[in-house]
């Protein structure tokens, strides 16, 4: 059968089945289960109205159960079995094996760095772009340019940046932008400013940010009475932030003390430590447009009266932005932050296409792929999938908790 005809037939059968389901299920509910006649007509109508929403929810619930709940349960089961032993139950042996592998801890370390840096950078740059583009005449055009990377797939963006980081032999012309710029440095003041001071200062800023956020979480946990579950989540977050601060401090010290081989093109993606940041730039480039669009809408929703009142009271532009606008869009910033965080925790395509986890750039999703499809080890692969799910779940719970709190 021709693919076009098959697709049309599939759409027709699917839409027809949905219409038939809703029509006949409601007929069965109203005519058979709870008929609106006889001495119990009123009670039957009330019962039918209570059941009817579940008829509409059932297809979605069935689909979620089939394509979400069942895979989660099956993955959990596979993580407790051994394929080489015919699927025999081995308990936590796969988890112990995974925890003993250096590659797993490398993936965890890199995922934590991605988790802190990418959402923060994407949200901050997106907020800056939203604020600045709203103040210029050609702001709509600028926004379209910044949002454009969102239309590119992760693999496509990875290919673009592989060309930017490309390395050719010394005797050949460098087509990679990074090496073309790198070869202009000769160890003078420009080299110190760009290759030592800027990255070192950025790392120190990251250290200060991680410590500030960690202190804020600790202070909130001490001042407010929160459920034990959220206290535990905050404790884990504080520990992660301290570890990130230490890692960034070491990278900052390394930036000031590293010896640079001037005049030689560099294979940027093979330099441990910095190559992970070069991969993060790809995702920041993609997600900044998303953050900008959402935050721009939030900024436009701020009442003009509050801004005008602040200006009349003598507030300068920085005070207006940080003390008037930022508090009013704080909930939107949290939504953007957590949405990008979920994307980061599942990042796979960029790492797979650019380094395939080599040179200390491994992440959890790529580690899971290697175990499942290269090593054919479904036990450890499923265990790593469960770790990813456990890392994602607290963020989802936090989003649901905040959404319900706002609704109340």
For residue 124 the two structure tokens come to 């901050």
pLDDT at 20 over 70: yes
Domain boundaries, the chain: 3-78, 99-183+263-407
Taking residue 346's Cβ as centre, other Cβ atoms within 10 Å add up to 14
Q: Are 398 and 388 in contact (CB under 8 A)?
A: no
Grade residue 406 by pLDDT with cuts at 50, 70 and 90: low
Q: How far apart are CA 153 and CA 159, in angstroms?
A: 10
| Residue 25 confidence class, pLDDT cut points 50, 70, 90 | confident
Q: How far apart are CA 201 and CA 264, in angstroms?
A: 25
Q: pLDDT-derived band of residue 81, with 50, 70 and 90 as boundaries?
A: confident
Token reading at 140: 């709509």
Q: Give the C-alpha separation, 48 to 45, whole Å.
A: 5
Residue entry with tokens 């003078």: 188
Q: 118, 280 in Cβ contact below 8 A?
A: yes
What is the pLDDT, as a whole number, of residue 226? 64
**CATH of 99-183+263-407 among 3.40.50.970, 3.40.50.300, 3.30.70.260, 1.10.3720.10:** 1.10.3720.10
pLDDT at position 256:
79
365 close to 348: Cβ distance less than 8 angstroms: yes
pLDDT for res 195: 74
Helix (H, G, I), strand (E, B) or coil at 81: strand
Radius of gyration (C-alpha) of the chain in whole angstroms: 27
Q: What is the pLDDT of residue 198?
A: 82
Average pLDDT estimate for 365-381: 83
In eight-state DSSP terms, residue 176 is S
Residues in Cβ contact with 58 at an 8 Å cutoff, skipping those fewer than 6 apart? none
The pTM (predicted TM-score) of the whole model is 0.75
Please enumerate in sequence order all residues whose Cβ is within 8 A of that of 126, keeping only pairs 6 or more positions apart, or say none.
Answer: 287, 288, 289, 290, 291, 292, 294, 295, 336
**Alpha-carbon torsion 385, 390, 391, 393, what sign?**
positive
Arithmetic mean of pLDDT, 351-358:
85
Percent of the chain with pLDDT over 70: 97
């Amino acid at each position: 059968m021709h693919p076009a005809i098959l697709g049309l037939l599939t759409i027709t059968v699917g839409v027809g089945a949905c219409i038939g389901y809703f029509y006949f299920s409601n007929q069965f509910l109203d005519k058979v289960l709870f008929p609106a006649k006889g001495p119990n007509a009123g009670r039957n109508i009330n019962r039918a109205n209570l059941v009817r929403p579940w008829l509409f929810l059932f297809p979605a619930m069935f689909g979620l159960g089939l394509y979400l709940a069942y895979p989660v349960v099956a993955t959990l089961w596979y993580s407790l079995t051994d394929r080489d032993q015919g699927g025999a139950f081995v308990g936590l042996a796969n988890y112990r094996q995974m925890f003993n592998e250096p590659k797993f801890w490398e993936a965890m370390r890199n995922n934590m760095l991605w988790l802190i840096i990418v959402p923060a950078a994407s949200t901050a740059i997106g907020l800056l772009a939203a604020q600045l583009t709203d103040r210029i005449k050609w702001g709509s055009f600028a926004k379209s340019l910044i949002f454009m990377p969102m239309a590119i797939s992760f693999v496509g963006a990875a290919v673009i940046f592989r060309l930017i980081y490309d390395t050719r032999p010394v005797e050949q012309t460098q087509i990679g932008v990074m090496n073309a710029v790198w070869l202009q440095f000769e160890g003078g003041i420009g080299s110190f400013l760009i290759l030592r001071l800027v990255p070192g200062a950025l790392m120190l800023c990251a250290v200060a940010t991680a410590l500030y956020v960690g202190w804020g979480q600790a202070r909130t946990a001490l001042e407010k009475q929160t459920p034990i579950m959220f206290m535990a989540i905050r404790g884990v977050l504080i520990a992660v932030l301290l570890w990130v601060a230490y890692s960034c401090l070491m990278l900052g010290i390394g930036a000031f003390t590293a010896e640079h081989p001037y005049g030689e093109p560099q294979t940027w993606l093979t330099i441990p430590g910095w190559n992970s940041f070069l991969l993060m730039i790809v995702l920041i480039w993609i997600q900044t447009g998303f953050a900008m669009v959402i935050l721009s809408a939030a900024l436009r929703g701020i009442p003009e009266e509050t801004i005008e009142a602040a200006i009349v009271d003598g507030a300068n532009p920085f005070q207006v932005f940080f003390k008037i606008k930022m508090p009013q869009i704080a909930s939107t910033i949290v939504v953007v932050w957590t949405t990008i965080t979920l994307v980061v925790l599942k990042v796979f395509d960029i790492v797979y296409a650019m380094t395939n986890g080599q040179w200390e750039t491994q992440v959890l999703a790529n580690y899971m792929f290697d175990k499942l499809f290269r090593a054919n080890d479904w036990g450890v692969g499923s265990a790593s999938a469960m770790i990813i799910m456990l890392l994602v779940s607290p963020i989802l719970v936090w989003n649901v908790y905040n959404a319900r709190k706002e609704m109340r």
